[in-house]
């Protein structure tokens, strides 16, 4: 089960996150999300726990808990919503109008 962990302290590492969740069961992976440009933590991460019962227990016990001075927000990770349209924003295609007119 994939778990979202929000409101992480910016100093938290992958190892810190793994250690926190290993006390509730087997952890397949733990990752703090980092900003591509600055290299700083974005304040959230993801933990993958293969055993659903262990993951649910971990969520229940860590949600709202103090971790390195911050109150965590923990829940089952939801799939990333699919974005509509293209990646460039704005309209697609030409501008329309009177293309036959020659100036």
For residue 96, the model assigns a pLDDT of 54
Q: Where are the domains of the chain?
A: 2-75
**The domain 2-75 belongs to what CATH superfamily?**
RRM (RNA recognition motif) domain (3.30.70.330)
Q: pTM of the full predicted structure?
A: 0.76
Distance (Å, whole) CA 2 – CA 86: 28
Q: Which of 3, 16, 14, 32 is nearest to 69 (CA)?
A: 16
Tokens of 71: 């109150």
Residue-wise pLDDT tens digits, 18-35 = 999 999 999 999 999 999
């Amino acid at each position: 089960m994939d778990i979202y962990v929000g409101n992480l302290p910016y100093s938290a590492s992958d190892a810190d996150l793994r250690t926190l969740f290993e006390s509730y069961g087997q952890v397949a992976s733990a990752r703090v999300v980092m900003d591509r440009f600055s290299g700083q933590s974005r304040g959230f991460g993801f933990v993958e726990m293969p055993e659903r019962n262990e993951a649910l227990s971990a969520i229940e016990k860590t949600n709202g808990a103090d971790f390195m001075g911050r109150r965590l927000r923990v829940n089952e990770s939801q799939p990333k919503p699919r974005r509509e349209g293209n990646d460039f924003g704005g309209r697609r295609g030409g501008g329309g109008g009177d293309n036959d007119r020659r100036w």
